Amino acid sequence: MIKINMQLAREPVINPGKGWVLYGTEGFYTEGVEPYNGHSEEAWNLCSLGYMRYHWCDLEPEEGIIRWELIEAPLRECIRRGKRFAFGFMPANSCTVLQSAVPEYVFQTGAGYTTCRTEDNLSDLRSEQKIPVWDDPIYMDKIHNFILQLGKRYNGHPDIEFIDIRNYGNWGEWHIEFLEGSLEPPEESLREHIQMWTDSFPSTRLILPVNGSEPTSLSEWAVQHGIGLRRDGIIVLPEDHKAVLPSYGIAPSVGEFYGWYSWLIANGKWNSQKLREIVDEGHFTFMGMGHWQQDGTRLLNENRQLLWELNNRLGYHFVVEEVVLPSEWTTDFNIQVRLINKGVAPIYRNAILKIAILDQANNVLESYEHATCNPRTWMPDEVVSFDVQTQWKQEINSCKLALGLFTSWEQLQPDINFGNECEFCNGWLVLHQY
């Protein structure tokens, strides 16, 4: 038997279901520009998915008339670049001079509203807007109908990573701060708002924004229904990242900065060490790479090493540390593997571990699933050891022994990368050559 110590990757390892989220060009559809206008290739290479957020009134200006292209255009761009897509829409936005983020037809058909003084807490912009009465039955019926149409088109879409549940509160963040005069509805109504999404998207990951620094009965209820949590407002507010902790180990969590990176810098709020602590303490799976327009590209240009480092901490990051295997080829094979999850969370999607032998042209000659090994149980900073016993069907003079991780049975090649600085062949981590 021989023992092989495997090397740790020194550069970012990009993987599905985790990592940096690249924000698009806010309001691209009114400005006549591309959805992700001006982002560098390096920013695209580092991110795992693109993200977009809309006003409800822009997506559905008239009842039943949905501007699908506003969603399809950024979705196409993400697919073209080999990335996934996520999005949400807002019924209120105090950072705008819109009369309302809700389509006017909703109020014309009788939905109640409050004329609220609104405030942008970053720029001091003040305005007045129509803010819906959140548990008004007409409002709830109209937004439910819209969500139903979204579900018919996008439920189970293979290129959508998650969709935000944003049908309540300022920015859809499930609070009414900066909406003077708006009232919080009872929790029963808020659960109905969430149920609209779970009914329409049974096969798509949903993410609920949360607030404060403590779990709530509503966030815990949502997690029990398989919904992940997100905290928009980290870095500036000291403990608020802890509001996502109920989702840890059950569903992914998402983080978003309190403001644009450029705003954080200008106002003396940027703190790279604080961001490291937030990722670790909040067990975040995804993190926004700055905010809108080219903010993410600037963040990367000025903090490259930090973003590389945190890329491999966000979510899961599986590293093979050591393997023990026969020194000579034999068809009756036993391998001992020791690995560690160097991320801050488990993997929240299917993961299938296989061992294979490859020929010198990297074609798979044989492969076996490790049926008793479940990568979803590999928790952060825990060492995992297991044996792999196989009986190969053929005698081979020369081959490569390799491990692979797959998100589904349909995948022909491994699509989850190990965090090792080793030879990879079509996604397979080569352990040894015979």
353 backbone dihedrals φ, ψ, rounded to 5°: -100, 130
pLDDT of residue 165: 98
Amino acid residing at 310: L
Domains plus CATH for the chain? 2-10+317-433 (2.60.40), 19-311 (3.20.20.80)
Question: The pTM is what?
Answer: 0.94
pLDDT of residue 395: 74
| Adjacent-strand bridge partners of 385 | 338
**Is the pLDDT score of 328 beyond 90?**
no
Classified as helix, coil or strand, 98 is coil
Mean pLDDT within 201-227: 95
Structure tokens at 202: 């049974």
**Greater pLDDT, 250 or 95:** 250
Give 398's Cβ-side CA count (13 Å radius): 4
Structure tokens at 349: 């999607």
**Greater pLDDT, 88 or 122:** 88
pLDDT of residue 337: 93
pLDDT one-digit tens code per residue, 273-284: 999 999 999 999
Mean pLDDT within 378-401: 87
Q: What distance in Å separates the CA atoms of residue 205 and residue 191, rounded to the nearest whole number?
A: 17
Q: Radius of gyration (Cα) for the chain, nearest Å? A: 24
Mean pLDDT within 183-188: 96
User: What are the distances in angstroms from CA 185 to CA 86, 132, 170, 176?
Assistant: 27, 11, 14, 10
Mean pLDDT within 59-66: 96
**Cβ atoms 115, 181 nearer than 8 A:** yes
Alpha helices per DSSP H over 63-173: 69-80, 104-108, 137-154
**Cβ atoms 247, 228 nearer than 8 A:** yes
Confidence of residue 393 (pLDDT cuts 50, 70, 90): confident
Mean pLDDT within 17-39: 87
Confidence of residue 28 (pLDDT cuts 50, 70, 90): confident
pLDDT of residue 42: 96
**What is the rounded (10 degree) CA torsion for 195, 189, 98, 210?**
-70
Which stretches does DSSP call E strand in 58-137?
84-90, 113-119, 126-132
Percent of residues, the chain, with pLDDT higher than 90: 76
Largest CA distance in the chain: 79
